[in-house]
Amino acid sequence: MRNLTLYSSVLWCGLLAGCATGLLDKAADQIIVDTQGLDLNEYERDLSECDALAQQIDISKRTRDRAIGGVVVGSVVGAILGDSDSAQKIGGTAGVVGGVKGNVQARKEQQKVIKRCLQGRGYKVLN
């Protein structure tokens, strides 16, 4: 039974991380720039270069690290509050929450990098 709980927790973590990934497939899609008077070909090239810089933020690693951290902390709390079943349930839940939170935070950081990059290149970022 314990293994089933652990496996289902890991499965949920993967599913929720996948959902978060689907919500923000490309960080650049969420950025609004005033394009009046711009050469759109040059803008697309700059956006692509800024997006490449933002990809240095490893979303998978941050998601995984936060999920593992959540499992560890949640399991410790669960063990203190109850038995091993409680520890597994709380650890699994904390892992899912931690993984999703890490994923979303990494994607937001990617957006910030892209926005700063575009602003540094002289674009007027509106959001």
Assess whether pLDDT exceeds 60 at residue 7: no
Q: pTM of the predicted model, to two decimals?
A: 0.66
64 within 8 A of 124, measured Cβ to Cβ:
no
Mean pLDDT, all residues of the chain: 80
* Diameter of the chain measured on Cα atoms: 65
Which residues, 6 or more positions from 94, have their beta carbon under 8 angstroms from its beta carbon? 70, 71, 73, 74, 75, 77
pLDDT band at 109; cut points 50, 70, 90: very high
Exposed/middle/buried for 27, CB within 10 Å: 0-12, 13-18, 19+?
A: buried
Closest CA to 66 of 41, 103, 38: 103
What are the distances in angstroms from CA 88 to CA 62, 68, 73, 76, 115? 22, 13, 11, 9, 40
Q: Is the pLDDT of residue 9 over 80?
A: no
Q: Where residue 103 falls among pLDDT bands split at 50, 70, 90?
A: very high
- The confidence score (pLDDT) of residue 69 equals 83
**More confident call, 67 vs 11:** 67
